[in-house]
Chains A and B, each alone.
Chain A
Amino acid sequence: MALALLAVFATQFAKGDGGVVLLHEAGGPFSVTVFLSPEVTRGEHTDVSVLVQSRTNGDVVLNADVWLTIEPSRNLVARIGTESLCGAPPASVMSPSAYQAQQEGTFPATREQASNKLLYAAALNMNGTGDRRLHINVSRESDSAEFDCLIPAIQASADTRGLWLFLLIPFIAIAAFALNQKLRKHSLEQETDLGLFGWAPAGLGEAGKNFRRKPQKIAAPSAST
């Protein structure tokens, strides 16, 4: 039990890099890898980290400007249909005005915010319901590239409406049983030999009797013996 508790709670203090790869794609002169927290919960901040590399030689690019835009993906998914998680930029399937209207915010991803200084990081707040589309804009001097990903949102907890009755059943049963025992108190306290299921198995019944019996004084052995 102690080991299980330790395994659950000790991970809070672990310093491991737990990001999962959301996207690895090459575009323009860059190759971009996006890391995301393992769990994305609605209404909470989610760490997004971006590794920018040169497309030609794989060197890490440390002087790029990285901007992250988070937006609802419902309309995009409906239009794209069977598109995979990461695909074409949303601007190609939406009008610019609609695209602008649905944008929730654009945030800079910086190396200062990242624990690993090779990455550009930002903390995004996943408000609203449903999945989110992450738009990444990477630029350096005259070079730029854009990437898109779908972030699947997980609801923090299930709807508990309608379950309360079933959660109350044990407590109602306990209350009823306690009332029953209280009403039968006198008769119950006379049932000294009851076994586990209301009958008296020989071993348990005798054990119960012996346990309840007052200790007997043992006579000291006589000197003559």
Chain B
Amino acid sequence: MASKSMSIIVTKGSLDWAYPPFILATTAAAMGLDVTMFFTFYGLPLLLKKLDLQLSPLGNPAMKMPMAGMHMGMPNIASMIPGVDAAASKMMTNLMKKKGVASIEDLRAAAVESGVRLIACQMTMDLFEYTLKDMIEGPELGGAATYIEVATKSDINLFI
């Protein structure tokens, strides 16, 4: 039986949004699927050698963190203060560690190890002035047509 396949377009690179594509890619690979991830726009920096992932509570009313037995959101006026994004990112990272959630670095390494095909969007590389030297070992360069070819042959195609 030919194995099933999945492709994911990865468009977001914040700490929170980095999770769904890497969780699904690594799990699908573990379940025997051929997986391709296409990194474009703000998803592209997820391939950088050194990750410094941040998130922002600004304009994110659904982000409510467990605190002192309650769930606390943050008003936009507070989220705007310099340093708040960094503090919220640190808080999320600590919470994830405490709850046994893998780091993006670990999930990314697992994706590479399990043979997930990584495609870096050539146009985004040019736009944001990156080269393959800035990236981890493994990604290849490709454009929309490269992705579409993969998508036409995949059982599952996701845009995240």
Partners in one complex: no
Instruction: Please report B residues at the A interface, Cβ cutoff 8 Å.
Output: none
